[in-house]
């Protein structure tokens, strides 16, 4: 399959998954505010700021807005066209990538992506948003789930489909680490917290809800909300489809199906790094993670995922015989990802 096509399929999947995750984060946090009392402006900013930081686009945010007020943050994450990772732009990018490979995807998939694209660009989207943000997010979430369903049910499960899987799992793993990191300020730098205040408990439950994990968590751990258990569930659970371990496992399967290399071996960096990260997740306990410090662990995880993405690009998309200009361009893009501050930002499509 054409490298460019593989690249577009991969990014189409990433962007639609990204839109869904941002919708979840903003939705849950907006609802959470309804449960809180004594909210002054300062507290609100303290509340919203980590959410911007979690997306990794805080630099771009503070360029456009002086303070992380609720209105500014939601606008930035939902509609702002200047933010390449706003829901609006994610939908546009997903559809744009799909358009570039229109001949490779099914009519059903194209129509659904086109439908949500037309929706978010229409004045109607604003109206829905003004009337009920949660209805708006529902629309985005169900569009994404619909797309995933269509991909599984209508696309041939060949190489292109595996690139879609790779993109989807990589993005989902990344977003789960970012959501889990939102409340890291309530945690000690190292070790798990002993006591959890009722306010903290509410905020931590929002983390679970942002990952659609509330129901699953309760069946396993009961109603006791504790960061240690939440981290264990969202990072290390083997069966929950949004846990990092589950996603990296899916990613591992995808990269191996693409290359045909057996388990336990590798032929490129993408396979090596994925396999290594998976083994680490399989053979770690949550207490070890808290010993390193959850925040640091998550930052490292994001870096690892970004490196896997870059390695995939190297192995399949970027070809060593590109003309020098293009090489230069790719180099610049890679450099930019490393230089941007402490927190690894969400990578964006190179084309």
Q: Tokens 């984060």: give the residue.
A: 25
Which CB atom, from 146 or from 295, has the smaller least distance to other proteins? 146
Q: Using an 8 Å Cβ cutoff, are 190 and 290 in contact?
A: yes
Smallest separation (angstroms) from other proteins to the CB of 119: 11
| CA-closest candidate to residue 187, choices 280, 283, 291, 41 | 291
Binding to other proteins by CB under 8 A, coded x per residue (else -) over 291-320, reads: -------------------------xx-x-
Size of the site for other proteins (CB under 8 A): 26
Q: How big is the CA angle at 59 (ends 53 and 60), to the nearest 5 degrees?
A: 105
DSSP class of residue 263 equals T
Q: Does 1 bind other proteins (CB under 8 A)?
A: yes
User: Could you say which residues in the range 5-24 bind other proteins, by CB under 8 A?
Assistant: 5-6
Alpha helices (H) in 193-268, listed in sequence order: 198-210, 214-221, 227-231, 244-259
User: Could you say which residues in the range 91-110 bind other proteins, by CB under 8 A?
Assistant: 96, 99-100, 102-103, 107, 110
Q: Does 118 bind other proteins (CB under 8 A)?
A: yes
Smallest separation (angstroms) from other proteins to the CB of 99: 6
Q: Which two tokens stand for residue 22?
A: 């941002």
**CA 225/CA 221 separation, integer angstroms:** 8
Which CB atom, from 163 or from 169, has the smaller least distance to other proteins? 163
What does residue 321 show for φ and ψ, rounded to 5 degrees? -95, 15
| CA-closest candidate to residue 89, choices 19, 179, 168 | 19
Q: Does 323 bind other proteins (CB under 8 A)?
A: yes
Give Cβ neighbours of residue 122 (< 8 Å, ≥ 6 apart).
Answer: none
Q: Does 126 bind other proteins (CB under 8 A)?
A: no
Q: How crowded is residue 204: how many other Cβ atoms within 10 Å of its Cβ?
A: 22
User: Could you say which residues in the range 239-258 bind other proteins, by CB under 8 A?
Assistant: 258
Q: How big is the CA angle at 118 (ends 115 and 123), to the nearest 5 degrees?
A: 135
Choice from 224, 279, 326, 327 touching other proteins (CB under 8 A): 326
**CA 67/CA 51 separation, integer angstroms:** 13
Choice from 139, 159, 269, 300 touching other proteins (CB under 8 A): 159
Binding to other proteins by CB under 8 A, coded x per residue (else -) over 29-68, reads: ----------------------------------------
Smallest separation (angstroms) from other proteins to the CB of 15: 15
Give the interface with other proteins as residue ranges (CB under 8 A): 1-6, 96, 99-100, 102-103, 107, 110-111, 114-115, 118, 159, 163, 258, 316-317, 319, 321, 323, 326
């Amino acid at each position: 399959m054409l490298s460019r096509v593989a690249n577009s399929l991969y990014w189409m999947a990433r962007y639609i998954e990204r839109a869904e995750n941002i919708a979840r984060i903003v939705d849950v946090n907006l609802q959470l505010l309804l449960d809180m009392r004594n909210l002054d402006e300062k507290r609100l900013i303290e509340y919203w700021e980590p959410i911007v930081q979690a997306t990794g686009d805080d630099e771009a945010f503070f360029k456009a807005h002086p303070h992380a007020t609720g209105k500014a943050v939601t606008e930035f994450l939902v509609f702002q066209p200047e933010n390449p990772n706003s829901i609006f732009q994610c939908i546009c990018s997903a559809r744009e990538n799909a358009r570039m490979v229109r001949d490779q995807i099914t009519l059903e998939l194209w129509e659904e992506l086109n439908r949500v694209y037309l929706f978010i660009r229409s004045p109607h989207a604003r109206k829905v948003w003004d009337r009920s943000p949660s209805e708006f997010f529902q629309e985005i979430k169900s569009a994404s789930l619909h797309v995933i369903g269509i991909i599984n049910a209508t696309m041939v499960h060949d190489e292109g489909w595996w690139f879609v899987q790779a993109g989807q799992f990589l993005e989902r793993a990344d977003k789960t680490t970012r959501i889990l990191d939102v409340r890291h300020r309530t945690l000690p730098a190292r070790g798990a917290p002993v006591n959890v205040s009722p306010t903290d408990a509410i905020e931590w439950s929002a983390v679970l809800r942002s990952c659609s994990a509330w129901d699953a968590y309760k069946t396993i751990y009961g109603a006791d909300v504790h960061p240690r258990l939440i981290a264990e569930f969202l990072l290390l659970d083997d069966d929950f489809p949004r846990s990092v371990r589950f996603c990296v496992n899916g990613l591992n399967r995808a990269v191996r199906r693409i290359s045909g290399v057996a388990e336990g071996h590798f032929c490129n960096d993408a396979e090596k790094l994925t396999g290594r990260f998976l083994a680490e997740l399989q053979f770690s306990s949550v207490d070890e993670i808290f010993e390193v410090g959850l925040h640091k662990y998550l930052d490292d995880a994001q870096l690892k995922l970004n490196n896997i993405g870059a390695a995939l690009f190297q192995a399949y998309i970027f070809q060593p015989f590109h003309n020098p200009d293009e090489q230069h361009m790719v180099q610049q893009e890679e450099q930019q990802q490393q230089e941007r501050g402490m927190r690894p930002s969400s990578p964006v499509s190179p084309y």
